[in-house]
Amino acid sequence: MTASPETAPYAKDLETRLAEAQVAWKAPSVVAAVVRDGQVTWQGAVGAADSAGLAAGPDVQYRIGSITKTFTAVLVHQLRDEGLLDLDDPLDRWLPDSRHASVTLRRMLAHGSGLQRELGDMWATLEVPDRDDLLAGFEAAEQVLPTRTGHHYSNLAFAILGEVVGRATSSTWAEQLEHRLLQPLGMTRTSLQPTAPRAVGYLVEPYADAVRPEPDSDLGSTAPAGQLWCSVTDLARWAAFLADPDPDVLSPDTLEAMRQPVVVFDPATWNLAWGGGLMLWRRDKRVHHGHGGAMPGFLAGCYSFRDDLERAGAVVLTNTLRTADPEGLAGQLLNAALDADPRRKPVWTAADVPAFARELLGPWWSEGQEFLVEWRDGALTMTVRGGAEWRRTCFEAIGDDEYRAIRGREAGERLRVVRSGTAVARLMFSGYAFTREPLSFSEVAAR
């Protein structure tokens, strides 16, 4: 049974962390939530959402900034799944004659395109760019790094991805966002423009306990990079979706592909990477996926985690831009909840082993290393003796004495049973021979 926000065993700890963050950040308000298995199991709010005294709460809208990019990324992947575009499309399929014609959608999603960060000087002028401004500015923009050479964050790239979504659907990014994501997921408190009750974004003065309001900047044609307003309840719903998507909205297999690293931000430490529009943060022993967000007067964090047992997420919103770290707090809250109330593995029960599998079970050798073929959880599997469980290969039958690795080590490769008469002589997997005793390569070749 999923715990309620009032009874979650980690509620007191998370409340303390939230209150301490609000004081340390000098933030007018901070709101947060944790979700597990699609349900909010804890939520909290500290402070006032505006100077008039509006209490921070689950229904109050805050700006989520670049978390908007995760919505854009999901839209792009939905269109890929429907065959309307390909992630490896060069941009000239969608913007013919562009000077950036060879840049691919995949590289833009992962900030590996090398495109400059912003559309001109919009953050200095706060002028709202229309579609003509976007397209003209894109053609004038630099590719400041060669593509594929490393990570370079680009709001401009995501603005263009929104244009691609519109062109691929003969629609607009905003219409597709509403139709494909907000309505199906019941996100009624997520919008392009603020709707009451809403927080006011503030600059907190560095040398006084005073705040100054920031403007409600409209991103215009660059909205796909960071325009959205969202309540903590809606953002928690989005975190739950990114942990365990509704298959009618996004295939779980597609989410897995989005979580695969494309560009590593810090090659020396491997703590942060970008996948298909998702940030991949190593937080202690777990890798969280999601995004952070920043807009004038606002910071936000939305991160999820999934493995064989867990589907969870944490979100944090605040209405200050200085010193706050909602991304870090979201990671702390998520790990604290998972550590305090770990999901248990299902009770082990005995199961029948099909006859075809029995003759394959047991130890096999390849390249001087021992492998174990086992029947686990209703499937034929192979693992290195003493190896990490996440590398265990799971197979499905594709014909007589033929199997396909569907996950784990060498996923996608074929396993073939080679017989001598009726007896199993060896296994051939991904081009390598597996024998019942350790043999050198020359001994294998001689048999």
Can you list the domains of the chain with their CATH numbers?
A: 11-340 (3.40.710.10), 355-446 (2.40.128)
Task: Using DSSP, state whether 272 is helix, strand or coil.
Answer: strand
- Pairing mode, strands 379-384 and 362-366: unpaired
Segments of the chain scoring below 70 in pLDDT: 1-6
Block residue for tokens 């989520």: 64
Burial class from Cβ neighbours inside 10 Å (0-12, 13-18, 19+) for residue 100 reads buried
What pLDDT sits at residue 2? 37
Nearest residue to 94 (alpha-carbon basis) of 143, 159, 165, 148: 165
Strands of 272-274's sheet, edge to edge? 39-47, 29-36, 311-318, 298-306, 286-295, 279-283, 272-274, 263-264
Dump pLDDT digits (tens) for 283-334: 999 999 999 999 999 999 999 999 989 999 999 999 998 889 999 999 999 9
Q: How far apart are the C-alpha atoms of 129 and 120, rounded to whole Å?
A: 10
DSSP 333: H
Rounded to two decimals, the pTM is: 0.93
